[in-house]
Structure 1
Amino acid sequence: MSGNVTSMQSGTVYLQMVDEAGFKEKKDGFSRGAIIHIETGGRMTKEFLLAGIPPGTYGIRAFLDTNENGKIDFSLRGIEPWGTYRPVRPFMRRPRFREISFSLEDNLSDIEVLIK
């Protein structure tokens, strides 16, 4: 499975494909990830590849790690830039798995994730 991630800022993007248990960060959940480095500011698109994904129901989420601590930060001051494969932007909360999930039956090669 492959696609593109686009960010308006430079930095490290953590992209993760998860099943529902992985979304909830359970130990038995499925998770595959990619780390993508965006070198320049302005609109920048980079390719990613996730191999060995069995058929199932998944969600793809990503975030730009602006403070380089390896995790997404939520605070009263705001949230680090993020995006999902299915463009969902809930107000004042994190997206739910059912909002970002999709059924994977075969290889996908046209995934687009916009970080904002």
Structure 2
Amino acid sequence: MSRMIVLALLAGLAGGNTGAELSAVVEVRISGAVPGGPVMLQLCTEAEFRGRCTHQQTLRPDARGNAVARFGAVAPGRYAVGAFQDVNSNGRLDFGRMGAPTEPWGFSRDAPAVMGPPSFSDAVVAVTATGAVIPVRLGGL
């Protein structure tokens, strides 16, 4: 009896869910950065969208204004990406007198931002078990 239990457990480990199906690699391709500081980005669930997200990176764009972030171990689901370029390297997105950002910014799906950040539903992308490639174009100035 105990031998059958051990064999069943080993069979489950060998052919069962290893966890690889539960996480994916997400690649975020940034374009449109200007000469200057780093690009800061977040990959967010809906619950995290207006706050601090679990998946974050800071990147240096290349001479053409492009950068690529890779996030591993991302559970399949619905996510949005927000990014900005910290041109003056002060660690935050700067705003002008009228409240509009003065540094390049962007969201997944080129989600429009009018009088504030876009809604999650405008920026949402699906991450499947095989991952996702998400383009984000900086601009908005």
TM-score bracket, normalised by the shorter chain, equals 0.7 to 0.9
| Structure number having the greater strand percentage | 1
Q: Which has the higher contact order (CA 8 A, sep 6+)?
A: 1
* Matched positions, count: 110
Q: Distance in 2 between matches of 1:16 and 1:57?
A: 14
Q: Can you give the 5+ residue segments of structure 2 that lack an aligned partner in the other structure?
A: 1-25
Aligned-pair CA distance for 1:67: 2.4
**Correspondence list, 1:3-82, <5 A:** 3-10=28-35, 11-25=37-51, 30-38=53-61, 40=63, 43-77=64-98, 78-79=100-101, 80-82=103-105
Residue 125 of structure 2 is matched in structure 1 by 102
Post-superposition CA distance 1:29-79 (Å, at most 9, x none): x52011111254xx4212221111001211111000122222223342530
If the length of structure 2 is used for normalisation, what is the TM-score? 0.68
Counterpart of 2:111 (choices 58, 73, 88) is 88
Q: Is the 8 A contact 2:33 2:85 kept in 1?
A: no
Q: Can you give the 5+ residue segments of structure 1 that lack an aligned partner in the other structure?
A: none
SS state at 1:24 partner: coil
Aligned-pair CA distance for 1:22: 1.3
Q: Distance in 2 between matches of 1:2 and 1:39?
A: 16
SS state at 1:66 partner: coil
Aligned residue type for 1:96: S
| Structure number having the greater helix percentage | 2
Tell me: CA distance 1:18–1:3, structure 2 relative to 1, closer, same or farther (3 Å): closer
> Whose radius of gyration is greater, 1 or 2?
2
Q: Distance in 2 between matches of 1:3 and 1:17?
A: 9
Q: Distance in 2 between matches of 1:67 and 1:98?
A: 31
